[in-house]
Chain A
């Protein structure tokens, strides 16, 4: 396993611009999660995919946020019309689903977003 990768690692944008982040999970992991972590806080759940199906979305995921996992492999998270409050670390995690609720999630290095 090469681990979960995320791209870009850092993104600086101006308020009102759109940004897109990519997550490549560990191969053959059919479960993929997005979390958001603001400074000094723990990660907060955003959304969950099982294969290509988005099965749960947090209320934190406003209409400006959209996530996809078109072929059940990599995932993208897009934020439209960014606001300064969107500045955070966006973390992606994956798991195999083989052990149900007894398995851990493997996290990527995150994408740090700064909205000016």
Chain B
């Protein structure tokens, strides 16, 4: 059974710092890995999707890497801003299901201090 873990559970950084969020998964047989952002009391917004054949994806100040063999992904945020404060969730879509359901980690709560 696929399990997804995220560390740290919470992170507080001063504005302008570069930071890394970590995600690990137990079964490397995945189709893709996605990073989402969730603002308090809101739904999820997709940030980046990395196909299993890819090593990384970039969007603006965000860079996500994937090492499928070791079951790890990182989300790098450059020059953090207070507006980046949110919960970041990673999710995998694995071969185990007949559908495109996502298996989520518990998230990292990020606070960027002005």
Binding site for B on A (CB under 8 A): 4, 31, 33, 35, 40-45, 48, 50, 55-56, 91, 93, 95, 100-110, 112
* B93 (CB) vs chain A CBs: closest residue: A101
In the complex, are the beta carbons of B44 and A91 less than 8 A apart?
Answer: yes
Could you tell me how many residues of chain B have their Cβ less than 8 Å away from some Cβ of chain A? 27
Among the stretches B13-21, B45-53, B58-66, B70-78, the one at the interface with A is B45-53
**What separation, in Å, do the CA atoms of A55 and B105 have in the docked complex?**
24
- Contact flag A112-B41 (CB < 8 Å), given A56-B98, A95-B100: yes
A-B contact count (CB 8 A): 68
Given known pairs A101-B31, A101-B32, A104-B49, the reply for A45 and B103 (CB within 8 Å) is: yes
Q: Which residues of the other chain, A, contact B32 by a CB distance below 8 angstroms?
A: 101-102
| B102 x A110 contact (CB < 8 A) | no
Judge whether B49 and A102 touch: CB under 8 Å.
Answer: yes
Q: Check if A42 sits within 8 Å of B43, measured CB to CB.
A: no
Q: In whole angstroms, what is the CA distance A103 to B99 when docked? A: 12
B34 within 8 A of A: yes
Residues of the B chain whose Cβ atoms lie less than 8 Å from the Cβ of A95:
100
